[in-house]
Amino acid sequence: MIDLSTEYLGLKLENPLVPSSSPLTAELDSAKKLEDAGASALVLPSLFEEAIEYEQKQLERFVSSQSLGHYEAQSYQPVPDDYSSELDNYLERIQQFKAALDIPVIASLNGISTNGWIDSGKELQQAGADALELNVYYIAGDPDTSGEEVEERYLQLLTDLREHISIPVTMKLSSQFSSIANMVLKLQQAGAQGVSLFNRFYQPDIDLETLQIKPHLDLSSSMDSLLRIRWIALIRGRVDLSIAATGGFHRAEDIIKALLVGADITHLCSVLLQKGPEHIAVLKQELQYWLEEHEYDSVTQMKGSVSKSCAINPAALEHCNYMHIIKSYSQ
Ligand SMILES: Cc1cc2nc3c(=O)[nH]c(=O)nc-3n(C[C@H](O)[C@H](O)[C@H](O)COP(=O)(O)O)c2cc1C
């Protein structure tokens, strides 16, 4: 029997198939289907700092408008007792998932300011989250902000948070850093137990009739996985933290490649939105067949065997075949 188990963020997982944040991991019903199909852990959708801030502002406005012009209303308590905030709902979801599922539940925070994250992070830990993923979805569009300052924000956030919580923390990064490998190393040194490579930035589109910017969300395809596979191959063996591959992992082949270059797990999102939670069972079986066919005993044995440090031709992962690829193009 092939051993599919893997270790991620210090958690022993039954296999490397972990649904990432998506509407499927938001509801207990679909989360149970994911677990039944073989998911070895799951990441909840992100708790958005901006949603919490917006809610707080709305509440403050509500309270102050209630008291405006009503002397006797100063002591009036307009917030109903059964009011539950975004954070309350999130904490409740963690508790509910932890009670109903056997697999680890990873919470996810999206934001950029330290204060919000520390308070929320502490509460997520207390509610029972097994680990925390920080999804820093930050577009550095200000020409006055240097790359170094952007990196410093990530590192500061992580350092501050690490001082206050003890569960493992992983950073979900975009690929848009000048030196991804160096950034991952700095995150490791600042206390990250893992990185998730890479988040997908959703590209806004322009409506040519209204000339308005319109939000636009495309699901990924297998092609997106190649960027992740290359970078994981380059850094595995050079850094010492867990690596999750996310973005474009649709087929068992994509997952196998990620593991061969050294990913500890592969996250699944678009493929499950397209094919349903049950599709995990198919991927798991195909992974198992491939290992059997290629005479591997375990995922641990195959993990990282094609990473840059072990690859026969590491230059192929970098730039050396660029000229060859362009010249070999034929229509
Ligand atoms: C509808 C939808 C909702 C998502 N919500 C979140 C989220 O709340 N937090 C997060 O970190 N990523 C979120 N993601 C990103 C996914 O978790 C995943 O990283 C990304 O889609 C790349 O993986 P894929 O190619 O398998 O889809 C979302 C993606 C989709 C399609």
For residue 69, is pLDDT > 60? no
Tens of pLDDT along 7-16? 999 999 999 9
pLDDT score recorded for residue 217: 85
Structure tokens at 166: 């003890």
Task: Look up the pTM and report it.
Answer: 0.90
User: Quick one: how far is CA 307 from the chain centroid?
Assistant: 22
Contact predicate 241/183, CB 8 Å: no
Atom 10 (ligand 1): residue with closest C-alpha?
A: 21
Residues near ligand 1 with C-beta < 6 Å? 20-23, 45-46, 108, 110, 135, 172, 199-200, 219-220, 224, 246-249, 267-270
CA–centroid distance, residue 89 to ligand 1 (Å): 20
- Per-residue confidence band for 81, with pLDDT thresholds at 50, 70 and 90: low
- Would you call 191 helix, strand, or coil by DSSP? coil
- Per-residue confidence band for 324, with pLDDT thresholds at 50, 70 and 90: low
pLDDT score recorded for residue 204: 86
Q: List, in order, residues 6 or more apart from 5 with CB less than 8 Å away.
A: 12, 13, 14, 15, 298, 299, 300
Atom 15 (ligand 1): residue with closest C-alpha?
A: 21
pLDDT score recorded for residue 138: 79
Contact predicate 177/151, CB 8 Å: yes
pLDDT score recorded for residue 104: 98
For residue 253, is pLDDT > 60? yes
Ligand 1 binding pocket mutation candidate from 223, 269, 274, 279 (most atoms within 8 A of CB) = 269
- The highest-level CATH class for domain 6-327 is alpha beta
- Per-residue confidence band for 243, with pLDDT thresholds at 50, 70 and 90: very high
CA angle 198, 32, 134 (to 5 degrees): 30
Lowest mean pLDDT: which of 32-41, 111-120, 306-315? Answer: 306-315
- The span from the CA of 254 to the CA of 12, in Å, is 22
- The span from the CA of 27 to the CA of 17, in Å, is 19
- The span from the CA of 129 to the CA of 328, in Å, is 50
Average pLDDT over residues 100-113: 92
Q: List, in order, residues 6 or more apart from 59 with CB less than 8 Å away.
A: 79
Domain boundaries, the chain: 6-327
CA–centroid distance, residue 241 to ligand 1 (Å): 22
- The span from the CA of 32 to the CA of 142, in Å, is 43
Minimum-distance ligand 1 atom for the alpha carbon of 268? 26
Contact predicate 247/220, CB 8 Å: yes
